[in-house]
Structure 1
Amino acid sequence: MTVYAYLGDFVLGQDNAMSGPKSDSQKWGNTIHQHKVVRGKPIPQYAGEELDQRSLTFFFDESFCDPQLEYARLNAARSSGSVMAFTSGYGNYDGTHYQISSVSPVIEKTTKRGRIVRLSASIELLEVPGAAISFSSAVSAIATAAAALINPLTKKG
């Protein structure tokens, strides 16, 4: 059975806690500056691409997972700023990585005592270019080395 896609270690589709998305939309854009002129319309100037954005809406249901646990896991990935690869269920990977910029949950059904039975969620993803991933790793290594130099009690990695 094929799943829809993978986002890091989250499986989007039939084989895991997230259902196949109710919706999956993408947004690509360019930065275009408009230079005002004395007379006439502004002159546009292409200034490069913007970061890609992706929006997914899906649901958690007690028939295949613990909705509260899976939501907590998703929210933890958002708050930690994890950078995750996005791969289609067929294994197609174009090198795109994303961070979860927002999570919007909607509790759809609970038991009489308030336990969540079904929860839908929308997540907004923002692209993290490869150069940013490399830069982040380099900055982290430099910060660790600097901390070790400043504090000799710090273990050197």
Structure 2
Amino acid sequence: MIFASLGDFQLGTTSVMTGPTAADETLANDFHEHKVVRGKPVPQKGGEALDRRSFSFFFDESFCSPEAEYTRLVAAKVAGNILPFIPGGGGFLGKHYFIKELKGTTHKTTQSGRIVRISASIQLVEVPGSALSLGGVGIAGAAVALLNPLIKRLR
């Protein structure tokens, strides 16, 4: 069984990457502050914020090619791919994410410089289903279209 799938990436398989050495999820609400003449600002709920997830794991030559697997992650980040996140226990929750940040650290090499172990951490940001349904607009364009009903009518 795997920890989770992120698109074609399987977190926690013994043949590609370890299960996360750390995993975080952030769920938040947005709010707006209205300034008043006297006293503290008045908060007003502004809806949900985008969900965020982060994972730390490592690639080791004992079960994969560390450079090749890290390069696949870099390619997904550079391409801005929107990837479905499916927990290992099954059941797609309908959430998609893009890789906001990717950090890699080389921990071990051979005497000739071949990489033996790379640790990596990724930060993911949710792409809501409403942005996905606008197909091909892109993340920034989808955000504008969600806010401006005139753009929706032009499509």
Distance 1:135 1:16 in 2: 36
Deviation at 1:16, TM superposition (A): 3.3
Contact 2:29 2:46 in 1 (8 A): yes
Q: Which amino acid aligns with 1:38?
A: V
**1:8-87 superposed matches below 5 A:** 8-87=7-86
Residue 78 of structure 1 aligns with an amino acid whose one-letter code is K
1:75 & 1:46 partners in 2: Cα distance?
37
1:92 to partner: Cα distance: 2.2
Gaps of at least 5 residues in structure 1 are: 141-157
| Aligned partner letter, 2:96 | H
Q: 1:122 is matched by which residue type in structure 2?
A: S
Off by >6 Å, runs of 4+ in structure 1: none
Query: Partner letter of residue 108 of structure 1?
Result: H
The answer to whether the 8 A contact 2:14-2:63 is kept is no
**Residue matched to 1:128:** 127
Aligned residues: 138
Unaligned runs of 5+ in 2: 139-155
- Report the secondary structure of 1:109's partner residue: strand
How high is the sequence identity, in percent, across the aligned residues? Answer: 51
| Residues 30-59 of structure 1 deviation map (CA, whole Å, 9 limit, x = unaligned) | 111111111111100111111100000000
Write the deviation string for residues 37-95 of structure 1: whole angstroms up to 9, x where unpaired.
11111100111111100000000000000000000001000000111111111212110
For 1:15 and 1:83, the matched residues in 2 are separated by 25
How far does residue 18 in structure 1 lie from its aligned partner after superposition? 1.3
RMSD of aligned residue pairs (Cα, Å): 1.2
TM-score (normalised: structure 2): 0.85
Partner of 2:107: 108
Instruction: Write out aligned runs for 1:87-106 (5 A).
Output: 87-106=86-105
TM-score (norm 1): 0.84
Give per-residue Cα distances to partners, 1:83-136, cap 9 Å, x unaligned. Answer: 111111121211010001110001010011111100000000000111111113
Paired letter, 1:13: G
Shift of 1:14: 2.5
Question: What code does the residue aligned with 1:56 have?
Answer: F
Equivalents in 1 of 2:63, 2:27: separation in Å?
A: 34
Higher radius of gyration, 1 or 2:
1
